[in-house]
Structure 1
Amino acid sequence: MIQASLLKKQRILLSTLLALITITTVISMGLGDAPLSYDRLIPTLLGHGTFKEEFVLFSIRLPRIIITLLAGMALSLSGAILQGITRNDLADPGIIGINSGAGVAISIFFLFLPIEAGSFVYMLPLVAFFGAFLTACLIYVFSYNRNTGLQPVKLVLVGIGFSMALSGAMIVLISSAEREKVDFIAKWLAGNIWGTDWPFIWALLPWLAILIPVTLYKANSLNLLGLSEPVAVGAGVSIEKERIILLLIAVALAASAVSVTGGITFIGLMAPHIAKALVGPRNQLFIPLAILIGGWLLLFADMIGRNLIEPNGIPTGIIVALIGAPYFIYLLLKK
């Protein structure tokens, strides 16, 4: 049974994070190449703005803000699941190669297969999922020992190896491609959020709408998987079955996010750790916080990145890496 004081603390933190996301969203709406006056935001949102104000807000700013928020949520939840099923605090979809697997699949699809404008947006998450799933299966196989089961440390090391190899494969793939397509893949590698239109939101939103409730339903299984295998088996958990289901969920979340944001790393590492530090390791408590923290982190990094240097800014993935890489080294030394 969860203590009432912890539940109260969680509710306060959830309210604080929602307020923080709202403030960051409002600030982000007004910043950019075509700045909007903050006293004009509410009239514009209500449909009383000029053509320019409505175009900037509804066609440029809002879609990017929503995409960034959703992608951050998906990546943080994916990281929380991976850390739970591997019992490794360093697991992250970007670090262990899942994002790179999705990137290779997207590169092959974009460079070599015929693309239809109407279905391109909705095909991307499926293509990314296929590449990420295949990569996750290979990492799992190489990290698994018949006698000792899944080896958490080995999984991270194998994943880092796959990530480097797949990133190299992407560079090989684009070496002989057309200039425009090379530019797209290069931006994807840097974590430049490119899916900034409403159809990309409708392509990403169903994955989150389905997989977040499923993950929260599986929270108790994640709690047990975080313990030793004999304890989990004694509690009646089918370890391999639950791991595979949760791994599929983590892969789907990461793939759907990076298909529209590019190679974003470290969000799935940082957000769960911050949430655990606030309310403890119980998944029912920290996962909702981790989802909001991940969304806010990516939203904040994107706001900083696109306004730091004119005119094109810095890719969001680079800003996140500047924050996340030192944090990863700190965790590596600590663990």
Structure 2
Amino acid sequence: MNFLFLFVHAVQDLLPLELAITFGLVLFALSWVRPRRMVSLPQTRLRTATLTWAGVAGSLLVVVVATAVSAIAVSTSDVSGYDGWWRRPAPLFAATLVVAAAAVALRRIPLPAPGERSIVPRRPWHAFASRTLLWISGITATLLALTAVWQIAIARTAPEDGPFFGNVPDYTNLPIYMSFNSGYGYLSGAGWPNHLATLVALALACTVFFAVLHTDANRPVFARSTASSVRSERELTARLFTFILLGGLITTLGAVWMHTGSSGQALVGLDEQWVSDNQSYPRILVAGGYDAIARPMNLLGYALQAGGVAFLLRLAVDTARAALATRRSRIATPEHEISTNGPQR
């Protein structure tokens, strides 16, 4: 038992729970209780290649970014009170870059000549997107936006000689402080210096997502293409892009909730009682303004960050599995039986 206890502590020292990959690998392993793939790929070669790189390399890139920024947060102390302003939205920003790069690559696929195009009505941006995934992504984005706006709204400046509690960084006149127990003191970690970048990353992700889906939904198609083949490839593309951004959203929401939950858990001891000449303990503990939800928010942040990483790892593996399945299907199916949307190169 002692050996097991020491082993667990050694692993925890090497891979702290704050590290995105630690608990993420555990959830990734548990995800194989359901081995069915969550993505498929279209048969068109150039589109399949682009989506494969986006799903595999892109998802792994977001995981690497999330792990790296969480490792920086674990290994360094916050000396300014807003050091993590860029680290928390980094996974969402990386996911947005992946989707944008994949969309640019899709634009390189040859378009049909004007005389070879099928006449179709203009479609809305969400024409081929899953409604369920859009609702999940919208709820996650809303929670992220509300958390950031709330933390900016409760922030204020503080006097240099004011009583500070919790993690006390170097003093600044920026609005990074929140009131502790109705003016009794101040805690750091809030304000626009901490959360404005998160809102910017969220706005950029939404803009890119809408633009990419709208462009692909209204991409010209060959007149000889069947409606079912066009719908299938556009739906599979929208699904993969939504998954990548959703992974970045969940991971970033987890990082933000870990931070806000940790900032709100400060306790201050009052009315100390001495038990010896050099030891005392507080008989009264005073909590901060949102202490009731701070601890659950912090724990949910751990779970969400790990869940986002596990989701992206599974997405990378499932995309690779889908690419192999598509390749086998293409080899097994005679060339003239494959429905085409244009020249195959």
TM-score range with shorter-chain normalisation? under 0.3
Larger strand proportion of the pair = 2
Larger helix proportion of the pair = 1
When Rg is computed on C-alpha atoms for both structures, the one with the higher figure is 2
Q: Give the TM-score, by structure 2 length.
A: 0.25
